[in-house]
Amino acid sequence: MGWQEKLTQEEMDVVKKNCVTKKINLVLSGIFLFGGLLLVPGVSGATRTNAVSLPPPQITDSVSVMKALSERKSSRNFAVSPISDEQLSKILWAANGINRPGSEGHTTPAAMGVQSVHVYAVTDKGIFLYEPQSHSIRLQNKGDYRMTTTKGQSFVGKAPLTLVYVADSVAWGNARRVPPADQQTIFDSVAAGAMAQNVGLVAAAEGLGTCVRASIDHEAFARAAHLFNSERVIIAQTIGVLP
């Protein structure tokens, strides 16, 4: 049984509750931050009740980094075929997974150690937030919202997966020295770029196609994913099976 079939009706019903909890956490984050503490979003039981665990990422593949680099390219033509649970696991782990559990180290760098960029996975089933700590995805909204991640590129609605990289300025309150807003934007962009490159290499190793895109309907996606004013879409990356 794939991860999409694991979503029960009960889990679907908690999406609204999850969004309310997310808003409460955001407000509390600001309150605790003012006092020198930060409430990490997504740690309450209510926000994890509809999380679906992914298979452990397989990290012993024989394709070399140099081979993957030689085959990495942008693709805008995809077959109407799903990607496997194992491929989804590799892709999300490569984007922002934890590769050093003892130190919470991620697969991609983050300025000052601040994990300000989150990865949203958009499929024909819904919008999901990737949670690195548990290597799981959490439903944000049920339905096919793939075309909210573009401004009319038809191939996006055909591909099985689009990742959307979203920066949250609230996370910068965790920094030992909070950088100016313009530097935060630069740091967020660098982090998202590193994530996209990792995904591109994994896609090449898996024989999948991928395309990094700036053409995004920011307002439509923000509404569909229930983003808040502190959250900003940086870039999208569409992934699919080559024809």
pLDDT digits (tens, 9 = 90+) for 210-225: 999 999 999 999 999 9
Q: Which residue has the higher pLDDT, 107 or 40?
A: 107
Please tell me the distance from the alpha carbon of residue 3 to that of residue 126, in angstroms, as a whole number.
12
Q: Please provide residue 219's backbone torsions phi and psi, each rounded to the nearest 5 degrees.
A: -65, -45
Express each pLDDT in 185-201 by its tens digit: 999 999 999 999 999 99
Instruction: For the chain, give the DSSP string.
Output: --GGGG--HHHHHTHHHHHHHHHHHHHHHHHHHHTT--PPTT-SHHHHTTEEEPPPPP---S--HHHHHHH--B-----S-PPPHHHHHHHHHHHH-EEETTTTEESS--GGG---EEEEEE-SSEEEEEETTTTEEEEEEES--GGGGSSS-HHHHHSSEEEEEEEEGGGGGGSSSPPPHHHHHHHHHHHHHHHHHHHHHHHHHHTEEEEEE----HHHHHHHHT--TTEEEEEEEEEEE--
Would you state the pLDDT for residue 183?
96
Q: Mean pLDDT over residues 72-76, rounded?
A: 90
pLDDT: which is higher, 71 or 23: 71
Q: What is the pLDDT of residue 19?
A: 52
CA pair distance 128, 52, nearest whole angstrom: 10
Residue 160 has pLDDT above 80, yes or no: yes
